[in-house]
Chains A and B, each alone.
Chain A
Amino acid sequence: MSALPGIASIAAMALYAAFFLHAESQAQVLGLVALAVVGVPVLARVGWIARTATSLEAHPLAARSASVAALAATIALFHDQHFVMLMLASVALYSVACLGLTLQFGYAGVVNFAGAAFLGVGGYTSAVLGPHVPHALVLLIGGLLAALVGSILILPILRTRGHYAALITVAFGILFRSFVEVNDALGGPQGLQVKGMNLFGWELNSPLRDLSFYANYVFVGLALAAAAFVLVRRLERSWVGLNLDAVRLDETAAAVFGIDVARWKILAFTCGNFFTGIAGAAYAMMTGFVAPNSFTFGDSLILVSIVLLGGLGSAWGVPLAAGIVLIVPEKLQALQEYRFLLYAMLVIVILLARPQGLIARPAREYFPK
């Protein structure tokens, strides 16, 4: 199998993304959405998508290089447009958070419907510590604090299962939002201002040459996303991932084989929250403020829908789904009011038509070729 079909598909996707980001008029945007809605099933029918998948799996290096090249081309093309750069940076940072959720939902099978709350812990950390502490440290502390706050939930989560565990995180998400809303020290409903990021003297809010200043955040976001991606993929392939899979698929069987179920659940939950906290801290520095209304139950659902749309446990699916979930509603701006309705219906249709997600996680290979 040659690498060509894979590279051609990535190039086509990048081209499509460029057209989509460039489209100004509503007719163009709708036309492109319709093209994808009709075109992707047709491509799947003629077997092109399966060929792409096998080709990319056979040539991982080509897949990675082509993805990086496509990203670089997109950034070069839109380097001075604030909106596009903001979108790309958001997609990168949301990918970090959702890779954290992938560890929880996808590998260990620990549900977490409070993703936005952990983003919020990170965000409020950078609001409070931003003026006093070096920002690289703030990102780290944001992640650690999110993990620490999450550890409150470990005991109830370990004792419960299924929908009962889901309720605990739902309750925590709402609790967090109510808490920051009524807490005057954290700015109440208005929230707090956050200083722009400054990494080792590099002021991210001042643009480099003719680049949009958001481009700086794109670079930082992509670096974080790449680190998270590599880490998650390594974990998945390692014995740790094997243990997590065993815990998710059958707790009883895993325990019988001597796997410490509680230990792996705690590890996945804590690591996932750590990722989410870092993403939240960086995101708050980019947007310049944090407010309770950015961390509602609905925002947690957006994170979960990215994970499920991408395909549960599929690291490649996360950035793709994050792109769709974040960019499509923004581009449908002229439909204004109707975009959330359309978006909700789109997710319902995808769930009915492709319950395993856009890029389903392939079965584990025990003997790498």
Chain B
Amino acid sequence: MDVGLFGQYVANGLMLGVIYAMVAVGFTLFFGVLDVIKFSHGDVLTAGAFAGLATYGGLQALGFASPAVQLLIMLLVAVAAMAFLGALIAKYLVLPLRTAPPLNTLLLTLMLGAALRECVRLFYPQGANPKPFPRLLPQDAVALGSFMLRLDNALLLLGGLAAIAAVHFVITRTKLGLAIRAVAQDAETARIMGIDFERVVLLTFALGSGLAALAGIMNGLYYSEINFSIGLLLGVIGFSAAVVGGLGNIYGAILGGFLFAGLQTAGAVLLPALLPQLPSAYKDVFAFAAVIAFMAWRPTGLIAEKTAERV
């Protein structure tokens, strides 16, 4: 295989990896503070992408033409709206079910995800059709040997990494982050220490959902198209990545995201090379089979939660 093509695959894998990692970080944050899996996360991502698209439409109508300004405002609106939505979901749907069995929370958020998806499909103008997403990043490409480095991809990759780094900074270096880690470790003790439990939970959900909105817009910019059901598969993949990495651990989620993207890319490249009769469409089969095999090998993920069971 020539270097250019190989570079293309690597770039593609990295790009997918950063998006998956952003979704996975959300899952792992929510699991950390509340021990719940919020399955509507993928659909919050969809809603974020559509919020960005709607803002773009509004800005076009108002006559702002500069792509940089447009992108900035889109990001602000989408992230703020989804952060608010995430906090609302936490307050009115997830927190009231704290005492119920975890399965109920799982089903409730799954249904919420379906409701969000349906809302986008029904209430966004022609929401059932795929929507072209504006190309707001410079489209130039730099030739590195036989590998064409597209500038927009490089920018997206850097942006995603910066977002993850920013979340990491918030978690490890700020007072809010300290509170989040305290609640994750032991909610009861955190409360005794004067941490406002509900506020921390709501802010965590806002943080994770804002990150999902960002991932949604990046996904739109990368593929130049979005539709109402992108969140379904992205949600499952983000969940897989978070679990493979080890729930509750932010490094695990990032690692899991890149690992899953690597598996998918490897499946798409290697399967046809090794077994010519298999089409590359088997890449998802390969990736999910690898996840199952991996879980059999490392049942608590790459970076295991530190728990000791008291009997």
A positions within 8 Å CB-CB of B: 105, 111, 153, 155-156, 159-164, 166-168, 170-172, 174-175, 178-179, 181-182, 252-253, 297-298, 301, 304-305, 308, 312, 337-338, 340-341, 344-345, 347-348, 351-352, 355
Contact = CB atoms under 8 A, between A and B. Distances in A.
B292 A156 contact: yes
B72 interface: no
B104 interface: yes
B75 interface: no
B115 A167 contact: no
B2 to A, nearest CB: 27
A171 B102 CA distance: 19
Interface in B214-243: 232-233, 236, 239-240, 243
Given A174-B284, A308-B104, A312-B103, A167 B114 contact: no
Given A156-B293, A164-B299, A168-B292, 16 more contacts: A164-B247, A164-B300, A167-B239, A167-B243, A170-B236, A175-B289, A178-B284, A178-B288, A179-B282, A181-B281, A252-B311, A341-B115, A345-B115, A347-B108, A355-B97, A355-B100
A298 B114 contact: yes
B93 A156 contact: no
B243 A182 contact: no
15 contacts: A156-B295, A160-B295, A162-B102, A170-B239, A170-B240, A178-B282, A181-B281, A301-B107, A341-B119, A344-B118, A345-B115, A351-B100, A351-B111, A352-B108, A355-B104
B123 to A, nearest CB: 9
A175 B309 CA distance: 33
Contacts of B296: 155-156, 159
B9 interface: no
Contacts of A338: 118, 122
Interface of B: 31, 37, 93, 96-97, 100-104, 106-108, 110-112, 114-115, 118-119, 121-122, 232-233, 236, 239-240, 243, 247, 279, 281-282, 284-285, 288-289, 291-293, 295-296, 299-301, 309, 311
- Among A166, A167, A175, A348, find the residue whose CB has the most chain B CB atoms closer than 10 A: A167
A308 B97 CA distance: 14
Given A156-B292, A348-B111, A163 B279 contact: no
A235 to B, nearest CB: 21
B108 A182 contact: no
A251 B118 CA distance: 40
Nearest to B311: A252
A149 B115 CA distance: 32
A155 B291 CA distance: 13
Contact of B114 (A111, A252, A344, A351): A344
B111 A341 contact: no
Contact of B104 (A160, A162, A252, A351): A351
Is the contact region of chain A dominated by helix, strand, or loop, or is it mixed? helix
A351 B97 contact: yes
A62 to B, nearest CB: 32
B299 A305 contact: no
Contacts of A182: 279, 281-282, 285
A291 to B, nearest CB: 16
B301 to A, nearest CB: 7
Contacts of A305: 107, 111
B295 A168 contact: yes
Contacts of B289: 175
Contact of A163 (B37, B96, B114, B118): B37
A167 B240 contact: yes
Contact of B240 (A171, A304, A312, A348): A171
A312 B101 CA distance: 10
Contacts of B240: 167, 170-171
Contact of A171 (B114, B232, B288): B288
Nearest to A309: B107
A340 B285 contact: no
Contacts of A351: 97, 100, 104, 107-108, 111
Contact of B291 (A171, A253, A304, A347): A171
A166 B106 contact: yes
B103 A105 contact: yes
A153 B31 CA distance: 24
B103 A175 contact: no
Contacts of A341: 115, 118-119, 122
